[in-house]
Amino acid sequence: MRGYTHLAFALAVASSIETLQHRNIITLPVAVAGISALMPDIDHPDSMIGRKVKPVSWFINKLPGHRTITHSLDFAVGLCPVVLLSSNFSYWAWMFALGYVSHLLLDSLTLNGIKLSIFRQDSTIGFRLVRTGGVVDTAIFIACLLILSFLITKHA
């Protein structure tokens, strides 16, 4: 999925959670969810977050490659508890985990899928239904924008 779709999806889900808890949707935890939803694509120098940290992104892209370490389920299963434990299970850490996992969920829908394990390059898994940048990718982005627009007009 494109970076904008990951960002919009995470913001829509996080804002919906905030709304269900009768909170303002323009909060730091929602922003954390949006940023963490972009983080797995740090392994691609032309991604939204990769352009911001080009040397790091280039390094990760050249060694393990795109959709390897940062797009692995076992990496996420290791990273999210570390963030949660180091923040004493704070609310923003849960939003971090939500954003990161939402990225892997959406990328698992794409033709390239995600990795089950960073230790096995042949462990690609996913539904392989959606082409990145295709019609469904754009439809998900637009649906998330509509949800966000609704939430902002009703609850901001």
Binding site for Zn ion (CB under 5 A): 40-41, 107
Choice between 40 and 113, CB closer to Zn ion: 40
Q: What is the 3-state secondary structure (H, E, C) of the chain?
A: CCHHHHHHHHHHHHHHHHHHCCCCCCCHHHHHHHHHHHHHHHHCCCCCCCCCCHHHHHHHHHCCCCCCCCCEHHHHHHHHHHHHHHCCCCHHHHHHHHHHHHHHHHHHCECCCEEEECCEEEEEECCCCECCCCHHHHHHHHHHHHHHHHHHHHHC
Choice between 1 and 32, CB closer to Zn ion: 1
Min dist CB 62 to Zn ion, Å, is 17
Choice between 73 and 90, CB closer to Zn ion: 73
Min dist CB 21 to Zn ion, Å, is 28
Choice between 18 and 107, CB closer to Zn ion: 107
Min dist CB 142 to Zn ion, Å, is 19
